[in-house]
Structure formats: C-alpha cells, structure tokens
C-alpha cells in the first residue's frame, strides 16, 4: 500500500468517525437531513453502477426501492420477521427481480431502455395499488413502530443509512478496480468493440443491473421502517428515479465521488429552498441545476479534477458547445 493510499484511508476513517459522533450534538432536524443525504448517496451511487459505469440509462430504479420497502414491511408486519432479516430479504428480492427482468430488458439501448425501465416501474406501482391483503393496496402499509423516543429513532436510522452509504461506496470502489469494472467501462465506451474483445457483455450488464438493484432495495427497506408508512405512489414514484439521475449528473457521472457530491448539494439546496421559497422551490432548484449542468456538463467533479472555476466565460463556452 502506498503512502497516498494510506493517507486516504486515514482521512476516510477520520471522516467516518466524525460522522459517527456528529449527531450527538445537533438537533433532530439536522439528523433527518443528513439521513436523507446518506439515503440519496446510496440511491445515486447504485444508479451510477448501471448508468455511469456501464452506460445504460435506466429510469426504473424506483422499482427496486419500492420492492425493498414493501418486502421489509410485509415481512415485519405480517410474519413478524426481525428487521435485519427482512432487510436481507429485501436485498434478495430486488436482486432477483433485477436478474429476471434484466435478461430481456438489457437487450435494449438508449431511450428504448429508458422508456422500458420507466414502464416496468410504473406497471409495478399499479400492481401494488390494486393488490389487497398483505400489501394494503392503494391504502398503503404501516410498519411496526421502531422502539425508542424520537431522538433515539433518529440516531438508529442515521447510523443505518450511514452504514449503507459506506458499504455502497466500498462496493463501487472495488467494482471499478476489478475486471468486472473494466468490462463495464468497455461496454460503456463501445459495446460492439467489447464483444469483439471477448467480453461477455450480457453477463456484466446484468451484474451491474443487479448490484444497482440490491443496494436500492436495501435502502428502500430502511426508508420504509424509518417513515413507518408507505404507499405505492410514494415508493414507486418516478421522482425517486429522476432524483438519482440528476444527483449523478450534477456530481459527475461515472465517478466515485460524483453521486456523493450531487446528493449532498441537491438535498441541502432543496431543504434550504423549501424553508424559504416554498411556492417556487422546484423552479429555483431546477434553474440552479440547469446552470450547473451547462457550466460543467460532466458534473462538479470535472471542476474539482481540472481545477476550473465557474466563470461566465467558461459558462458561455459550454453553451457554444451545445449549440454546435
């Protein structure tokens, strides 16, 4: 291990330790905001595996988020399964469904894949809206209440989401430095060339899709228990899928830290705008995202890596590129 890698490891450990003690000195509202940031870090990093590293743009990851939430809720409420086991089942269900639908759907590319994945997620939402019995149908599903007072519950889900974010980052880091990661990058750059080189493209596309689904399903299960009530229109919402994509594009698609930066900035901005300009927060947030994307088409990581400033001339330069 080099000095640089040792230094980075020490730095990350210090950051994790600081995040571990941080909630002890702040209010519940701040803890909830950070918990939400960790959740979207997992979601955006999960999407980045299939969309960023492999180059297959999906708008259906809300499917796995909703499946994870409902699997955990049904098992805990009706079968009295412990939360941890229910969460493992959510991961397995999301992984399995991704494998089953990935075989046919990943034959599509570009906007065809985007529309198909969106359609599958919307179809599943309608299925759960019309189901009765265990899932509660359109009336929703209530989870057993987590033990403890409000602050203790906030601590529990803060640390759960933090752990999920750390594990997702570790997974993404190792995937990109293994043969599977190189194969995904080759597929993203030119799938036909990757096939000629002997890369089993179907296998690695399905692997990327399944890994993306697995962590999305886990965080869906944590989210469901956190909010204690879910309904199909919320957990299968297209807004969740779109937020993942926007955060990755904002931070830097196909990078390790881009999804983290995107999740942090977007959630902080959203929280600030909702508290100050409730009526127009969506429009203002959208305008800010457009400006950033135009100024840095490859995300904020482009600015960090190349040490470029968001100058007006740099902004105009990128607009000219779009016009060309």
Q: What confidence tens digit (pLDDT) does each residue in 113-125 have? A: 989 999 999 999 9
Q: Is there a domain that residue 309 lies in?
A: no
**Residue 164, in any domain of the structure:** yes
How much is the pLDDT for 271? 82
In the DSSP assignment, the letter for residue 25 is G
- pLDDT computed for residue 132 by the predictor: 79
Query: Could you report the average pLDDT of every consecutive run of 10 residues in the chain (324 residues)?
Result: 60 82 85 95 95 91 95 93 95 96 91 91 92 82 88 93 94 90 92 90 94 96 95 92 90 90 89 72 72 72 64 54 52
Domain count, the chain: 1
In a domain, 314, yes or no: no
The DSSP bridge partners found for residue 74 are none
The reply to whether 213 falls in a domain is: yes
User: What's the pLDDT tens digit per position in 248-273?
Assistant: 988 989 989 999 999 999 898 888 87
The pLDDT value given to residue 3: 47
pLDDT at 105: 93
Q: Is 6 domain-assigned?
A: no
Q: Encode pLDDT of 196-229 as tens digits.
A: 888 999 999 999 999 999 999 999 999 999 999 9
Residue 286 falls within a domain, yes or no?
no
pLDDT at 8: 67
DSSP element (H, E) containing 229: strand 229-230
pLDDT at 318: 56
Nearest-Å Rg of the Cα atoms of the chain is 20
Q: Which ranges of the chain would DSSP assign to H, the alpha helix?
A: 3-21, 28-48, 62-78, 83-105, 110-130, 150-176, 179-189, 191-196, 201-227, 232-235, 238-251, 258-276, 281-295, 300-306, 312-323
**Does a structural domain hold residue 59?**
yes
Residue 280 lies inside a defined structural domain of this protein: no
Identify the pLDDT of residue 313.
Answer: 55
**Residues of the domain holding 171:** 27-238
Residues 105 and 114: beta-carbon distance below 8 Å: no
């Amino acid at each position: 291990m080099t000095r640089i890698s040792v230094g980075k490891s020490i730095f990350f450990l210090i950051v994790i330790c600081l995040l571990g003690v941080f909630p002890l000195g702040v209010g519940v509202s701040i803890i909830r905001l950070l918990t939400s940031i960790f959740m979207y870090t997992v979601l955006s990093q999960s999407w980045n595996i299939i969309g960023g590293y492999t180059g297959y743009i999906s708008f259906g990851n809300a499917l796995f988020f909703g499946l994870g939430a409902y699997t955990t809720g049904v098992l805990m409420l009706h079968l009295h399964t412990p939360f941890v086991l229910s969460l493992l089942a959510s991961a397995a269900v999301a992984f399995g469904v991704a494998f089953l639908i990935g075989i046919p759907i990943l034959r599509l590319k570009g906007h065809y894949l985007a529309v198909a994945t969106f359609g599958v997620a919307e179809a599943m939402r309608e299925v759960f809206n019309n189901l009765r019995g265990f899932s509660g149908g359109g009336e929703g599903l209530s989870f057993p209440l987590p033990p403890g007072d409000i602050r203790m519950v906030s601590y529990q889900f803060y640390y759960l989401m933090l752990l999920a974010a750390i594990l997702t980052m570790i997974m993404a880091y190792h995937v990109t430095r293994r043969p599977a990661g190189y194969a995904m990058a080759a597929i993203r750059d030119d799938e036909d060339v990757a096939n000629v080189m002997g890369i089993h493209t179907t296998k690695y596309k399905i692997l990327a899709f399944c890994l993306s689904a697995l962590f999305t399903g886990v965080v869906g299960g944590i989210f469901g228990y956190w909010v204690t009530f879910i309904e199909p229109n919320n957990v299968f919402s297209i807004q969740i899928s779109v937020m993942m994509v926007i955060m990755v594009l904002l931070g830097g698609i196909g990078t390790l830290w881009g999804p983290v930066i995107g999740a942090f900035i977007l959630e902080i901005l959203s929280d600030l705008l909702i508290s100050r300009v409730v009526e127009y927060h969506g429009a203002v947030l959208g305008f800010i995202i457009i400006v950033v994307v135009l100024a840095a088409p490859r995300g904020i990581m482009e600015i960090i890596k190349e040490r470029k400033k968001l100058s007006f001339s740099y902004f105009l330069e990128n607009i000219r590129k779009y016009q060309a």
